[in-house]
Amino acid sequence: FTVVLIALLTSIGVAGIPAASLVAITIILSAIGLPLEAVGLILAVDRVLDMCRTSVNVFSDSCGA
């Protein structure tokens, strides 16, 4: 439940630009107690998912505007 709540709160402020979610991911994973080495591994493979998140974020922002 904690992860969902933190993810919800951090996702509200994420900008629609590439790699903007890196800060949010780091905050969420640090909050659940993941060591920094594990966060580094996740961020290394997050690039592909980040492209999808950015395109969805930009599309939804343009629909809401």
- Give Cα separations from 21 to 35, 49, 57 (angstroms): 18, 10, 11
What are the structure tokens assigned to 9, written together? 């709160």
Domain boundaries, the chain: 2-64
pLDDT at 42: 83
pLDDT at 64: 80
Q: Which residues of the chain have pLDDT under 50?
A: none
- What phi, psi does 8 have (nearest 5°)? -65, -45
The model's pTM: 0.60
pLDDT at 35: 86
pLDDT at 12: 80
